[in-house]
Amino acid sequence: LTDAMKCCGFSETISGGVSVTYAPTSAVIPSCTVAVYEGSYGDAATDCVIKKIHGARGRVTFSFENGQIARVNFEFVGTYNAPADGSFLTVPAIAVDPEPFLNCGLTYDGVSTFRVDSLSIDMQNQISMRPDVTKPTGFFTAALTGRNPVGEMTTEQMDVSTYDAFV
């Protein structure tokens, strides 16, 4: 998650080794290599075709639903690499069970008494390819050139005196 978030234009702050905070940044945004392993092809169950892009930067959306585990979706743009034969990765098990979206503090527009059912955030990162005629693909890497975040929150209707959504 850490590398993907950084390649989508977020900084990371770790507090006491137990809390991680991500915040949008315009400072140096690293790129990454993204691979898809497709298979099984060939004789062994581990044989596959590996498809990669490098110099990638991405878009990210967040979805939170009452009682469910939060979802983070990534979409990356980068420079094409020719597919290659290979073997599947061995992925370690995750040692920590994710917490559901419950018992959370949430404040919007100065109001913290919303009864929230769901929340979604789309950072709407704008990605452009950096041209380079010296490269076989004609591109060097992807660049994050802007963002226009939008969100949606599903709540119970409140009294207008508590929060006037019609202003």
127 within 8 A of 148, measured Cβ to Cβ: no
User: Which residues make beta-bridge pairs with 53?
Assistant: 34, 80
Averaged over 138-152, what is the pLDDT?
Answer: 95
Averaged over 100-116, what is the pLDDT?
Answer: 91
Q: Is pLDDT at 94 greater than 90 in this prediction? A: no
Question: What are the CA-CA distances from residue 82 to residues 74, 89, 147 (Å)?
Answer: 22, 19, 30
Amino acid symbol at 140:
F
What's the CA gap between 119 and 64, in Å, rounded?
A: 5
Q: Is pLDDT at 64 greater than 70 in this prediction? A: yes
Average pLDDT of every residue of the chain: 91
Q: Strand, helix or coil at 7?
A: helix
What's the CA gap between 163 and 114, in Å, rounded?
A: 9
Question: What are the CA-CA distances from residue 42 to residues 49, 85, 88, 90 (Å)?
Answer: 10, 10, 12, 18
Q: Is pLDDT at 72 greater than 70 in this prediction? A: yes
Averaged over 66-83, what is the pLDDT?
Answer: 96
- What is the model's pLDDT at position 14? 93
- What is the model's pLDDT at position 167? 85
What's the CA gap between 141 and 83, in Å, rounded?
A: 18
79 within 8 A of 54, measured Cβ to Cβ: yes
User: What are the phi and psi torsion angles at 4 (to 5°)?
Assistant: -65, -45
What's the CA gap between 139 and 128, in Å, rounded?
A: 10
In this prediction, what percent of the chain has a pLDDT beyond 70?
96
Q: Is pLDDT at 105 greater than 90 in this prediction? A: no
The alpha helices in 56-151, defined as continuous H runs, are none
Q: Which of 154, 147, 166, 146 is nearest to 120 (CA)?
A: 154
pTM of the entire structure? 0.85
Model confidence pLDDT, tens digit, residues 14-37:
998 788 999 999 889 999 999 999
Q: Strand, helix or coil at 132?
A: coil
Higher pLDDT, 93 or 116: 116
